[in-house]
């Protein structure tokens, strides 16, 4: 090879380009030699490390401490299982610097691991250095730190004293805390208890902002517990609780559920990988169903129920997460007030003077963007058989600070500012989406009424927008109705009348809402193209005792019928009201007696 090279060289020297090319060739040669020796030293290095580590490898691999070995050039020579997990090391990390430099907080300063090692290199050669209780983090973010003890040691590799390596031990202090906590499990079930809950909650809260998931706290309280114990005895009761605990332990893992046994008959779940709040309800329903059939002993079968309180952190930054536990307990108390086996999500009760309308006014626009509005549905039933035949969509504002705000508080503000048109579009779209979902999932198809204001109907693009939305969502127009109040209908102008007729042409029905609260001209009524007449709640409130109201309501129903309308009575709160109005030949009814307005998920159970 050498002689060949010389020949080429001699030949080239004679040419004018000779010098440059020779230099390039020589450089190439040097590079080849360099890489060859580098490869050899790497192989040697690997051999040495392999031999040295082999003996300890088993120990390292099962160690709960992280072990990381670096070459003198800070390339990774070895990383055990714990380090791989801690630093997220995938394949092919050997003989390269760490893909991500972990950060260590030393005296309030975040340094990379390399920097820490460099500082220490200057100080000592072969003495082990230890740092107790430092913060470790992959990204240097405060929320992401892990308390560790760090040990750095350096050692010659085998007999070759010119080859040194650095050995890093990382002792994850979270494990130590975990061991400490084992003392705080519930004696009966072996599930973590209240003390552990407090400890874990803080960690959960700290991580919340990182993963954009929702967090639910669910409190499950077995009902009539003292009575139960007196029936089946203390021992059987314990047996039952253990069985229930074991069942809770086996809940599906995809939601990341942790079960706590907080009190004798009280269990708490944290659900931390929640995308959709409805998953919580599905889970709780399952638990309740399972519990119902839990106790069978010889010939005794008890139907067990549990009350459930829920509070959910919905991932909004402005929400306070610290009072989540308190809220769950409040929700449980609210559930228990309603009777056995109830599920209640925390709803703060707010008085109308609890907030400032100016604040609401300023926050409306953002609230829409931030998805703080939600549509509730209240069933409207057939008076003959109480079957759900229709529903009214009623908007709610889930305010991060005030909680659930009723529409009578914010709708008037929106009407004043014209923002109601935006909200109207939102409600229509949500209802159409919901109708489509119910259609796809084969729920019974019923029409849903949407409240609209005069302001909306009078805005120019109203009909156009409705038509476009219907097209877009491919929903049958007969599944939508618009409700307009009697008062608004009466003052509407000819142009508005035209809008109404166009809406009717689209196939959408119209209800005359709050009937009985205004002055209605019979002539006008005949002109107005409504399909449904809704008698206002104030006409129904005293119907059981007030003879005058009874006569008026009867007449209203007859009038509606004579104009070819169906009649709905609002505000039916008890059975006697229901029976009386049914006897008047009222077609449909709406009111708390059948159901309050509820979220879509709750409502659809009524459609099954
Ligand atoms: P509304 O159209 O008269 O709706 C019926 C109201 O009566 C609802 O109040 C409902 O919860 C309540 N209700 C129903 N049955 C009973 C009962 O048996 N007892 C009692 N005490 N109340 C009952 P909500 O949801 O607070 O709505 C109040 C008003 O806010 C509605 O009155 C409607 O005018 C307006 N509104 C609600 N949602 C919207 C919307 O999306 N757009 C517009 N423009 N207005 C809306
Ligand atoms: Ca209404
Ligand atoms: Ca009404």
The confidence score (pLDDT) of residue 47 equals 72
The rounded distance, in Å, linking the Cα atoms of 556 and 559 is 5
Average pLDDT over residues 525-553: 87
Say yes or no: do domains 63-178 and 185-351 share a fold.
no
Model confidence at 9, pLDDT cuts 50, 70, 90, reads very low
Cβ of residue 591 lying under 6 Å from some atom of ligand 1: yes
CA of 567 to the centre of ligand 1 (A): 17
Whether pTM exceeds 0.75:
no
Least-confidence region, from 264-273, 408-417, 570-579: 408-417
Note whether 336 and 323 are within 8 A (CB).
no
Percentages of the chain per state (helix, strand, coil), in multiples of 5: 50, 25, 25
**For domain 357-607, which architecture applies?**
Alpha-Beta Barrel (3.20)
Model confidence at 271, pLDDT cuts 50, 70, 90, reads very high
Q: CA 272, 86, 201 angle in degrees (round to 5)? A: 30
CA of 411 to the centre of ligand 3 (A): 14
Q: Which of 168, 120, 182, 174 is nearest to 148 (CA)?
A: 174
Cβ of residue 307 lying under 6 Å from some atom of ligand 1: no
The confidence score (pLDDT) of residue 35 equals 58
The confidence score (pLDDT) of residue 1 equals 40
Topology of domain 185-351, CATH: Alpha-Beta Plaits (3.30.70)
pLDDT tens digit string along 156-204? 766 655 677 788 888 877 765 554 444 577 888 889 888 788 778 877 7
* Ligand 1, atom 8, residue with closest C-alpha: 394
The confidence score (pLDDT) of residue 125 equals 52
Q: Which of 352, 310, 312 is nearest to 334 (CA)?
A: 310
User: What is the rounded end-to-end Cα distance, in angstroms, of the chain?
Assistant: 88
Question: What atom in ligand 1 is closest to the CA of residue 427?
Answer: 41
Note whether 404 and 461 are within 8 A (CB).
no
* Ligand 1, atom 15, residue with closest C-alpha: 591
Model confidence at 94, pLDDT cuts 50, 70, 90, reads confident
Model confidence at 218, pLDDT cuts 50, 70, 90, reads very high
Question: What atom in ligand 1 is closest to the CA of residue 573?
Answer: 18
- Choice from 352, 379, 397, 407 to test ligand 1 binding pocket (greatest atom count within 8 A of CB): 407
Residues whose CB is less than 8 angstroms from the CB of residue 162 and which lie 6 or more positions away in sequence, other chains included: none
CA of 407 to the centre of ligand 1 (A): 7
Question: If you ran DSSP here, which 8-state letter would residue 192 be given?
Answer: B
CA of 537 to the centre of ligand 2 (A): 11
The total number of residues written for the chain in this structure: 608
Q: Which of 539, 543, 591 is nearest to 560 (CA)?
A: 539
Cβ of residue 411 lying under 6 Å from some atom of ligand 1: yes
Domain boundaries, the chain: 1-62, 63-178, 185-351, 357-607
CA of 570 to the centre of ligand 3 (A): 7
Cβ of residue 106 lying under 6 Å from some atom of ligand 1: no
Average pLDDT over residues 276-284: 90
Residue 176 vs residues 65, 136, 144, 179: alpha-carbon distances, Å: 11, 16, 18, 5
The rounded distance, in Å, linking the Cα atoms of 20 and 33 is 20
Other CB atoms within 10 A of residue 137 CB: 17
| Tokens (6 digits) for 181 | 């906590």
CA of 224 to the centre of ligand 2 (A): 40
Q: What angle separates helix 278-292 from helix 225-249, to the nearest 10 degrees?
A: 120
The confidence score (pLDDT) of residue 17 equals 41
**Is the pLDDT assigned to residue 133 strictly greater than 60?**
yes
Quote the CATH superfamily of domain 63-178: PAS domain (3.30.450.20)
Model confidence at 516, pLDDT cuts 50, 70, 90, reads confident
Model confidence at 590, pLDDT cuts 50, 70, 90, reads very high
**Is the pLDDT assigned to residue 387 strictly greater than 80?**
yes
Average pLDDT over residues 136-150: 78
Least-confidence region, from 88-102, 197-211, 396-410, 419-433: 197-211
Least-confidence region, from 134-138, 175-179, 377-381, 570-574: 175-179
CA of 607 to the centre of ligand 1 (A): 21
Cβ of residue 394 lying under 6 Å from some atom of ligand 1: yes
**Is the pLDDT assigned to residue 278 strictly greater than 90?**
no
Cβ of residue 595 lying under 6 Å from some atom of ligand 1: no
Model confidence at 354, pLDDT cuts 50, 70, 90, reads very low
CA of 514 to the centre of ligand 3 (A): 4
Cβ of residue 514 lying under 6 Å from some atom of ligand 1: yes
The confidence score (pLDDT) of residue 565 equals 94
């Amino acid at each position: 090879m050498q002689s060949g090279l010389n020949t080429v060289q001699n030949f080239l020297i004679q040419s004018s380009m000779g010098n440059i090319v020779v230099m390039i060739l020589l450089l190439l040669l040097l590079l080849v030699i360099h890489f060859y020796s580098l490869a050899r030293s790497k192989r040697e290095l690997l051999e040495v490390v392999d031999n040295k580590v082999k003996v300890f490898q088993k120990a390292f691999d099962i160690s709960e401490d992280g072990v990381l070995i670096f070459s003198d050039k800070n390339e990774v020579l070895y990383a055990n299982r714990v380090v791989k997990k801690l630093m997220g090391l995938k394949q092919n990390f050997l003989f390269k610097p760490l893909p991500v430099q972990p950060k260590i907080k030393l005296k309030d300063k975040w340094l990379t691991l390399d920097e820490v090692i460099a500082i220490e290199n200057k100080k000592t050669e072969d003495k082990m250095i230890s740092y107790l209780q430092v913060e470790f983090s992959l990204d240097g973010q405060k929320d992401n730190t892990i308390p560790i003890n760090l040990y750095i040691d350096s050692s010659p590799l085998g007999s070759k004293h010119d080859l040194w390596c650095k050995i890093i031990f990382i002792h994850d202090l979270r494990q130590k805390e975990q061991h400490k906590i084992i003392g705080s499990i519930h004696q009966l079930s072996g599930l973590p208890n209240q003390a552990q809950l407090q400890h874990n909650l803080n960690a959960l809260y700290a991580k919340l902002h990182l993963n954009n998931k929702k967090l639910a706290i669910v409190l499950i309280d077995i009902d009539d517990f003292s009575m139960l114990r007196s029936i089946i005895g203390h021992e059987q009761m314990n047996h039952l609780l253990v069985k229930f605990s074991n069942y809770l332990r086996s809940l599906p893992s995809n939601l990341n559920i942790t079960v706590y046994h907080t009190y004798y008959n009280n269990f708490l779940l944290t659900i931390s990988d929640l995308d959709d709040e409805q998953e919580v309800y599905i889970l709780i329903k399952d638990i309740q169903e399972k519990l119902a059939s839990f106790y069978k002993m010889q010939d005794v079968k008890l139907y067990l129920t549990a009350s459930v309180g829920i509070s959910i952190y919905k991932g909004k930054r402005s929400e306070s997460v610290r009072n989540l536990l308190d809220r769950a307990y409040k929700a449980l108390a609210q559930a228990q007030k309603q009777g056995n086996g109830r599920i209640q999500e925390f709803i703060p009760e707010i008085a109308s003077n609890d907030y400032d309308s100016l604040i609401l006014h300023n926050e409306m626009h953002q609230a829409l963007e931030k998805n703080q509005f939600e549509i509730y549905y209240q069933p409207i039933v057939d008076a003959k058989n109480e079957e759900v035949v229709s529903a009214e969509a009623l908007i709610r504002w889930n305010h991060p600070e005030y909680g659930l705000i009723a529409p009578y508080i914010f709708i008037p503000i929106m009407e004043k500012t014209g923002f109601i048109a935006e909200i109207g579009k939102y409600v229509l779209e949500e209802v159409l989406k919901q109708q489509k979902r119910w259609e796809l999932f084969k729920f019974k198809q019923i029409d849903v009424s949407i409240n609209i204001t005069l302001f909306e109907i009078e805005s120019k693009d109203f009909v156009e927008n409705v038509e476009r939305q219907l097209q877009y969502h491919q929903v049958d127009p007969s599944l939508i109705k618009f409700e307009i109040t009697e008062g608004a209908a009466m003052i509407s102008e000819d142009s508005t009348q035209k809008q109404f007729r166009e809406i009717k042409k689209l196939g959408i029905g119209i209800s005359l809402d709050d009937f009985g609260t205004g002055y209605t001209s019979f002539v006008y009524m005949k002109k107005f193209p409504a399909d449904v007449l809704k008698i206002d709640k104030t006409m129904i409130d005293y119907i059981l005792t007030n003879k005058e109201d009874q006569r008026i309501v009867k007449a209203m129903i007859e009038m509606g019928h004579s104009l070819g309308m169906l009649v709905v009575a609002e505000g039916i709160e008890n059975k006697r009201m229901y029976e009386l109005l049914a006897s008047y030949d009222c077609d449909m009814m709406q009111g708390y007696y059948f159901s309050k307005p509820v979220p879509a998920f709750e409502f659809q159970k009524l459609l099954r």
